[in-house]
Amino acid sequence: MKKLFLSFLTVIASFSMIAQTIVSTTAENRNAILEEFTGIHCTYCPDGHLISNNIQTANPNDYFAINIHVGSFATPAAGEPDFRTSFGTAIEAQTSLAGYPAGTVNRHLFSGWSQSTTTPGTAMSRSHWADAVDTVISKPSYVNIAAATTINLSTREMTVLVEGYFTGTGAPSSMKLNVAVSQNNVTGPQTGGSSNPSQVMPSGLYNHMHMLRHLITGQFGAQIDTTSQSTFFSRTYTWQIPANINGVPVSLGNLEVIAFIAENTQEIVTGNISSMNYVIPAGVSIIDMQATDNTTIPAMCDNTVVPSVTIKNNTSNVIADTFYVQYTYNGGTPVVQQVTTPLLGGNTTTVTFPAISLSAASNTIEYNVNLTNVTHLLDILTGNNISATPVFLVMPATPFATIYTEDFESYADYTAEIDNSIIVNPTQEPAFTLTKAGVSGLTTDLGAYAASLSSYLVNFYNINTGNTVQIMFHKLNFASNTASGVKFDYAYAQYSNEDDRLQVLASEDCGATWTTLWDKAGADLATSPAVSSGNFFPEANHWATANVDMSAFNGKSEVILSFKAISAYGNNLYIDNINIYNNTNIGIQTSVETNAASIYPNPANEQLNLSLELAENANVTYVIINSLGQTVANENLGLMVAGAQNQSINVAELAQGLYTIQIQINNQTITKKLTIN
């Protein structure tokens, strides 16, 4: 949280009374401006933010960051905030940017550091930023610049005074003055946020800093024509601050203003951050209220929680005599309490709400303290008004099946959440369903053995070492099982020699303890030679099948099965055709499966067609299982000869709903999802 310095100004105060009072006339070195091109879906952008923060710490008065959300990684998905501006695309276009994150330092072309080797430009990878800053701030500047900003809290009008003084020679006859407004403490999503852990909030959301919101002087600045040595210029600008930009609130207390002067639309000579002052309405006191989550997180099989939040008054000389505290559960309707017990400066109070029943698998509670309709108090530092619980998991109380199959065929590309499971992904790593259609230029289907379209990708290629993703299935009832097991297909390649790991775990006490059933890592897990030229996409012969004994859990009525992937920053893992069974005839598959089966139409109404491609003469049976794990139809189709075979199945008696059909070809089981209309 940045410090707030308040200047108590009257409404009649005017910058027109000030003449050359804020800019130094003594020659100084240049200041550095980093424009970082970033986006909420950029995995390595948080690492860029961290590098920028470290440069700021080392050069607190000589370096200033502007984070520009632009490009495909900044495009929000449905329900996500839009942090882009109308200015970012043009700024990016003149940099020859070749990948994210990228940054320009004073929009200067540093020889040998350009991202693009074909069209060298000002965009640099993050590894060069610190050296570029050191180079810039070691050089003398022929102009000094300073700014002072006042925000009228009643009218939301911003007034910016910018002064410049040319201490030396060498300036072109015409220059461009730029005034940028950025915002701190903007809460939102961010892929790869764990690379900058201090900015990750308990809810898993990210605290965005230095986010460009507006350029007061337009796309590339306002003209300055008095540039000879010992000349002075002064400009005053006003901006009516909107309540939001692209639906993202503009918080008055979290704004910062950076002024910089450029020789053209690219080469920045120097810049400076503005002082911030506020015009306070008569009879109003400025206060800083802070909310901190105080909730006791329930165990995974508990279905109630008591929302609790601690409120602090950070302003020593102002009493919070009235304020409001609210929570929202999973983004639902706010529940509000009014607090009228005076909260003295520096003190805290805990507000507890009635217990609530938990209705979802993945949960979070967000808290907010606010001064809505409290006319004599004003809180402009709103970044600390919000707090949230970590995402916590609740397992449905009732087992959903005795056996189950998941072939990942019914999901759109990039779907992270899977039916009848909880995805445990605390650092929001890239893990999702994927088909070849979701990868430009890919020609091989991504289902196991290239025999189906889709599988579940854990993108170790873009996941930091030690971070995990789990597919944790809801409770299974093995009370009547006599031969429990789980069979699945997987494909994995190392990048070089990393030990990425996949574990299959089971628990009978709702996750209090886990039994490791299957565990492979590194070369032992690999089904392909290492791939160090980019993301690994499996071919048909890059798959293997595992068959895991779960007989130790026979007779158990509440079994949780989990697939846990642990990154060592290697290459990608794919999982497909998870088949949780109770069948002694399913054998361990160690070679490529060459039989194929498909069903159509799907959804079906009265008749379902089964199309087979048999590698050899085979005995074929099928079983149709409903969503409760009950067998509702089965038939032995007998011995069929090798080659293409077709069989009609009557499904007219089946109720509308979702089913699984298991097709047994000798000792091979092929599982498909089926919808009956």
pLDDT along the chain (677 residues), means of 10: 37 40 95 97 93 97 97 91 97 94 97 91 96 98 98 96 97 97 94 88 88 98 96 97 95 96 96 96 94 93 94 96 96 95 97 93 91 92 88 87 92 91 87 94 94 96 92 94 92 96 96 95 94 94 92 95 97 96 53 66 88 84 81 87 88 86 80 81
Cα–Cα separations (whole angstroms), residue 585 to 456, 484, 644: 26, 11, 25
CA distance 254 to 304: 36
- 620 plus 564 within the same structural domain: no
- 421 plus 531 within the same structural domain: yes
- 264 plus 351 within the same structural domain: no
190: CB partners within 8 A, 6+ apart: 40, 45, 46, 199, 205, 206, 208, 428
405 neighbors 452 (Cβ within 8 angstroms): no
Whether 520 is covered by a domain: the verdict is yes
Q: Number of folded domains in the chain?
A: 4
3-state helix, strand, coil in the chain (%, to 5): 10, 40, 50
Helix (H, G, I), strand (E, B) or coil at 450: helix
Residue 202 exposed, middle or buried by CB count within 10 Å (0-12, 13-18, 19+): middle
Tokens of 326: 């609210």
Among residues 246, 279, 312, the one where a domain terminates is: 279
- 306 plus 359 within the same structural domain: yes
From the CB of residue 140, how many other CB atoms can be counted at a distance below 10 Å?
12
Tokens of 152: 């009228």
- 417 plus 372 within the same structural domain: no
- 506 plus 619 within the same structural domain: no
- Whether omega before 603 lies within 30 degrees of 0, making that bond cis, reads yes
DSSP state of 296: -
Among residues 558, 582, 606, the one where a domain terminates is: 582
Tokens of 198: 């201090």
CA distance 259 to 89: 20
7: CB partners within 8 A, 6+ apart: 150, 277, 278
CA distance 82 to 168: 43
CATH number of the domain bearing residue 478: 2.60.120.200
CA distance 494 to 535: 10
550: CB partners within 8 A, 6+ apart: 478, 484, 485, 486, 506, 517, 559, 561, 580
What pLDDT does 19 receive?
A: 53
293 neighbors 202 (Cβ within 8 angstroms): yes
Whether 22 is covered by a domain: the verdict is no
- 116 plus 37 within the same structural domain: yes
What pLDDT does 594 receive?
A: 59
Orientation of helix 45-58 relative to helix 129-137, angle to 10°: 30
- 136 plus 32 within the same structural domain: yes
DSSP state of 124: B
Tokens of 144: 């000094």
- 473 plus 620 within the same structural domain: no
CA distance 103 to 95: 9
Whether 512 is covered by a domain: the verdict is yes
- 140 plus 260 within the same structural domain: yes
What pLDDT does 274 receive?
A: 98
What pLDDT does 12 receive?
A: 32
Whether 18 is covered by a domain: the verdict is no
Taking the CA of residue 92 as centre, how many other CA atoms within 13 Å lie in the half-sphere pointing to its CB? 23
Cα–Cα separations (whole angstroms), residue 236 to 38, 117, 414, 507: 30, 41, 48, 67
Among residues 365, 393, 421, the one where a domain terminates is: 393
63 neighbors 195 (Cβ within 8 angstroms): no
In angstroms, how far is CA 420 from the centroid of its own chain?
A: 23
Radius of gyration in angstroms for the set of CA atoms belonging to the chain, rounded to a whole number: 31
Whether 148 is covered by a domain: the verdict is yes
Whether 332 is covered by a domain: the verdict is yes
Whether 3 is covered by a domain: the verdict is no
- 86 plus 215 within the same structural domain: yes
652: CB partners within 8 A, 6+ apart: 605, 606, 607
- 425 plus 361 within the same structural domain: no
What pLDDT does 212 receive?
A: 98
State the residue for tokens 């938990």: 358
Provide the domain limits for residue 610: 596-676
CATH number of the domain bearing residue 606: 2.60.40.2550
State the residue for tokens 């009848």: 420
14: CB partners within 8 A, 6+ apart: none
259 neighbors 248 (Cβ within 8 angstroms): no
If DSSP states are collapsed to H, E and C, what string results for 507-563? ECCCCCCCEEEEEEEHHHHCCCCCCCCCCCCCCHHHCEEEEEECHHHCCCCCEEEEE
Residue 180 exposed, middle or buried by CB count within 10 Å (0-12, 13-18, 19+): buried
Handedness of CA 153, 157, 158, 163 (dihedral sign): negative
CATH number of the domain bearing residue 190: 2.60.40.10
